[in-house]
Amino acid sequence: MRIDKYLKVSRIIKRRTVAKNVADADRIYINGSLAKPGKTVKIGDIVELHLGLKVISIKITSLTPSKDADMYELISEEKRSVWSFFHGIYIKIRMYLRRYNMFPEDLNEQQRIRREKMEELRSLGVDPFGSRFVRSHTAIQIHNEFGGFDHDQLEEKKQEVTVAGRIILKREQGKAGFIQIQDRDSKIQVYVRLDHVGEFAYNIFKKSDLGDIVGIKGILFRTKTNELTVKADEFIHLTKALTPLPDKFHGLQDKEEARRRRYVDLIVNEDARRVAKLRSKIIRAIQHYFDSKDFMEVETPVLHPILGGAAARPFVTHHNALDMDFYLRIATELPLKRLIVGGLERVYEIGRLFRNEGIDAKHNPEFTTVEAYMAYGDVTDMMDLVEECMSSVAMEVLGTYDVVFDDVTIHLKDFKRAHMVDLIKEQTGVNFFEINDLNEAVALAKKHNVPLEKHFTLGHIIEAFFAEFVEDTLIQPTIVYGHPVEISPLAKKNAQDPRFTDRFELFIKGSEYANAFSELNDPIDQRQRFEAQLEQKSKGDEEASEMDVDFVESLEYGMPPTGGIGIGIDRFVMLLTNTPNIRDVILFPHARNKTK
């Protein structure tokens, strides 16, 4: 029932037009929030009416008119001083004078009401956006330190705490009320009483909204329902939320909107906070692993003058002072290998890469990897490293080697190792060890409906067969080695079969998680590989590398035999958090502009 109608049928105000005028004049509050005439009320709501010098508080007990019983329970009826009455009028006049600048036309009703409350706080001498506040405890510290104390122990202890957080639940009961505040790691209930915090602070409490940030000083106790609670002695307003939070039970239902407005998603979505916190722990655990193996963490440029280190389409930008075009890096490989030439021997970098390609559940144009290079090692060392790294991170962060991803349990130990050609043969019967003719390979591709492009070599066709028939069958961690030389311009040729390289990729549940080489350190061979890439580029391969003369020259000074690896951190976070979409493990993923 609308509040203006309720006030009339309950005989609190005898004419509905008068009730509507009272609401329009901002003199009705329902459960502590300012109400308009069309606001719906229900049984149990607390209604506060400001009628001249009188302030009446009632609890709605019925929505059905009756001659034998009132439709409400009178909680209190107070008479305000003349000063208080005119002070209220002064607040209203000040707010309406400022409305032209403070209240844009596109604000909804709730936003307007919250801005009015902001002005009301200012008029009371309270800064709506607060200042420094020192906490004695966080919510999780309170639960960890005092969660084991019962009611009597807490009564005896009289433990004082000072906490702060965002109001996510609120309920009032006349001269007392409860709120639940949320900080980064947990929530804590707060009990606020008029006779404990005083009239001024209680008035601020009553005007608070969900989403506001407050500070609380008080004593810990347990309620009748045994909930650990802070009994407030001080209620300090810290920040006014001018826009209401989404419904607490539904949050941001539109996933794209949640990704655009991650700041709101983190407030209302516990799983979003879980993933964000686990991501930080995972990256820290990766650092712990490489540090423990005597690797040095380094930083290399994001802007590259030459495209290289991977096969991908880049983002291009222009440096005005140098009058040069640069690429946002698609890999950190070549700068890191220059450091190996320089004698740093073991280096790694955790950093962002940028590829101007598609967006889907597994790909984002901006993503994070860890790349590592180890002098005097090779691809077999990298096989051991990737298994040790991923298993140690899983154990440090989750305490187990078994993780559930998309309803499948993945065991992050004892990785399978297999040659790419053998895996293709298992699925198709085609044995590329026995095929050396490009025409024969093309005919087999057409027979098996494998898509071809005009620049494809025999090596590209082998890779296409693998992608078409094998990738999706690799569920448990599988190290796939033996990549063709044509698709591996930076890897050493295999000594037993130079058609293939000492390279591997790690696949888990059909997705690539890591890529590793015995790094090519022959400058003459490297120059020839770059020249072959330029030829591929001339045939239309937009992802082919460019000639990096400086890198070739660095190899001429001598790079020791080296093993190198890149691990996709975003996908690893997806795996360990059981998150199916990469954009949900990146705090601010890219999205199309919002259409109006």
Q: Is 512 annotated as a binding residue?
A: yes
Cα 392 from chain centre: 24
How many residues are recorded in the chain? 596
Residue in 457, 468, 467 with CA at minimum distance from that of residue 435: 457
| Pair 565, 374: CB distance under 8 Å | no
Q: CA dist 175 to 15, 46, 205, 224, 427, Å?
A: 29, 11, 11, 18, 74
Distance CA 188, CA 140 (A): 8
Q: Which residues contact 18 (CB under 8 A, 6 or more apart)?
A: none
Residue in 550, 559, 553, 564 with CA at minimum distance from that of residue 305: 550
The Cβ of residue 572 has, within 10 Å, a number of other Cβ atoms equal to 26
- Expressed in angstroms, the distance from the first to the final Cα of the chain is 34
| Pair 475, 464: CB distance under 8 Å | no
Distance CA 492, CA 8 (A): 87
Q: CA dist 295 to 378, 390, 395, Å?
A: 16, 16, 20
264, two tokens = 């709101």
420, two tokens = 């790419």
Please classify residue 485 by burial: count the beta carbons closer than 10 Å to its beta carbon, then call 0-12 exposed, 13-18 middle and 19+ buried. buried
Distance CA 416, CA 493 (A): 22
Residue in this structure with the two tokens 């297999």, named with its chain if needed = 418
CA angle centred on 274, ends 272 and 279, rounded to 5°: 95
| Pair 563, 514: CB distance under 8 Å | no
Rg (CA), the chain: 33
523, two tokens = 């400058």
* Binding-site sequence positions: 505, 512
* Binding-site sequence positions for Mg(2+): 505, 512
